[in-house]
A = this chain, B = another copy of it.
Amino acid sequence: MKVVRNGEAQRAPRSGIARSAGPAADLPLDTILRGDCVAALSRLPAASVDLVFADPPYNLQLQGELKRPDDSRVDAVDDAWDKFDSFQSYDAFTRAWLLAVRRVLKPTGTLWVIGSYHNIFRVGALLQDLDFWILNDIVWRKTNPMPNFRGRRFTNAHETLIWAARQPEAKGYTFNYEAMKAANEDVQMRSDWLFPICSGQERLKDEAGHKVHPTQKPEALLARVILSASKPGDVVLDPFLGSGTTAAVAKRLGRHFIGVERDAAYADAAQARIDAVEPLPDLALATAPTAREAPRIAFNSLVERGLVTPGTMLTDAKAKMRAMVRADGTLSLETAPGLGQIGSIHRAGALAQGIEACNGWTYWHIATGEGLRPIDSLRAVVRTEMAMAAE
């Protein structure tokens, strides 16, 4: 399928603050659009949204009354009405809203969809058919799932989320790797997440004490989605807003939201909920400075600043390989025979090990009063100096 790509998307700055460039002026930011999501999305400018979270109808095939995905009642429920028709119309519905989402997503934008085994396989296959690019499937493990009452199956204790980029080979999508790792005891965040279901105080209830929405998602789940895949100031869209969890969490986390909801009662409850949310202060939001986003420092600038003197010998951590620092910031390998023994700290490190690539900042060490230290520690000094100078 040929996909229309939009050229107007803004590029986020490579370094500096993590907050993205401002959203397009004609976006209905921080509002709930009432009505059908495909129609509402078609009125938004193309390539304007950073992150989409979608919690579509699950197409639960309950015995008895059947409803179409658009919630219209099936006129004549007779025996001829078979499941294939139901899947087909669910697929058509899914395809329609996925295409609408694709149009409003920035090229660097990503999409999350949550579902259960009733619908998630269809959604995932359609995502692939429509040329989205799956980045992960995520399992939400419920601490407190509903038990299986009949004892005829395993307790259905999880739901599945799919995280997908707008297109294959998407570069530049947001993934706050360091924040996720730090949030997970300093090991990489995995694809299986553990959260309680939404209950207690968090669960919206009407005056009669009945739950407002049958499938309200926990805020913790949305918080992890939004924190992992967006930056403060980004635009988060939820085409099936329901009780408004996505919008409430986005607001609290300093993101803009756009919600679409066609049920007036849901939209009213969501609006009231969102209004009561107090955004967190900026300081509690700034994403951890990632190594990738840190200002680039050339090794040569260490030489220029006098932190490293030309002629200094660098070694690897075991002091086996040696290289001399030259005045232009390149290294000269001491022991390598033949040609090509001069290059950047990275090339020299790769040559020293006989491998293709190497991070010279961590490979090469310099002798100090307290023993060998990686030259990366000198770069930290420069970075600190620059940060102080900027204030």
Binding site for B on A (CB under 8 A): 1, 67, 71, 83-84, 87, 116-118, 120-125, 127-129, 131, 134-139, 141-145, 147-148, 151-158, 160, 162-163, 168, 175-186, 188-192, 194-196, 220, 223-224, 227-228, 252-253, 280-281, 283-289, 294, 296, 298-301, 304-306, 310-311, 324-330, 332, 337-340, 342-344, 346-347, 353, 355-358, 380, 383-389
B339 touches A300 (CB 8 A): no
B155 touches A189 (CB 8 A): yes
Task: Output the nearest chain B residue to A173 by Cβ-Cβ distance.
Answer: B152
A224 to chain B, nearest CB (A): 7
A297 to chain B, nearest CB (A): 8
A311 touches B281 (CB 8 A): yes
Contacts of A183 in B (CB 8 A): 298-300, 328-330, 344
A158-B191, A183-B299 known; 12 new pairs, CB 8 Å cut-off, are A117-B134, A135-B152, A143-B388, A157-B389, A180-B328, A182-B344, A185-B344, A195-B304, A196-B305, A283-B326, A284-B311, A286-B326
Task: Output the nearest chain B residue to A202 by Cβ-Cβ distance.
Answer: B306
Greatest chain B CB density within 10 A among A188, A298, A327 is at A327
Contacts of A87 in B (CB 8 A): 125, 128-129
A15 to chain B, nearest CB (A): 12
- Docked Cα-Cα span, A178 to B162, in Å, equals 33
Task: Output the nearest chain B residue to A334 by Cβ-Cβ distance.
Answer: B283
- Docked Cα-Cα span, A160 to B116, in Å, equals 12
Contacts of A157 in B (CB 8 A): 190-192, 389
B383 touches A131 (CB 8 A): no
B141 touches A389 (CB 8 A): yes
- List 26 A-B residue pairs with CB atoms under 8 Å apart, sorted by A's residue number: A71-B353, A83-B131, A120-B137, A122-B125, A135-B153, A138-B154, A139-B141, A141-B192, A143-B389, A144-B389, A151-B177, A158-B190, A158-B191, A158-B192, A179-B330, A183-B344, A185-B344, A195-B304, A196-B305, A220-B304, A223-B304, A280-B311, A284-B325, A284-B332, A286-B332, A289-B342
A184 touches B84 (CB 8 A): no
Task: Output the nearest chain B residue to A168 by Cβ-Cβ distance.
Answer: B83
Task: Output the nearest chain B residue to A63 by Cβ-Cβ distance.
Answer: B169
- Docked Cα-Cα span, A138 to B154, in Å, equals 8
A215 to chain B, nearest CB (A): 17
Task: Output the nearest chain B residue to A127 by Cβ-Cβ distance.
Answer: B121
Contacts of A305 in B (CB 8 A): 196, 220
- Docked Cα-Cα span, A1 to B155, in Å, equals 30
A156 touches B131 (CB 8 A): no
- Docked Cα-Cα span, A142 to B386, in Å, equals 10
A186 touches B117 (CB 8 A): no
B156 touches A191 (CB 8 A): yes
Contacts of A340 in B (CB 8 A): 289, 380
- Docked Cα-Cα span, A227 to B329, in Å, equals 10
Greatest chain B CB density within 10 A among A151, A191, A311, A347 is at A191
Task: Output the nearest chain B residue to A389 by Cβ-Cβ distance.
Answer: B143
Contacts of A330 in B (CB 8 A): 179, 182-183, 288
Task: Output the nearest chain B residue to A91 by Cβ-Cβ distance.
Answer: B125
- Known contacts A192-B157, A287-B328; A339 and B135 CB within 8 A of each other: no
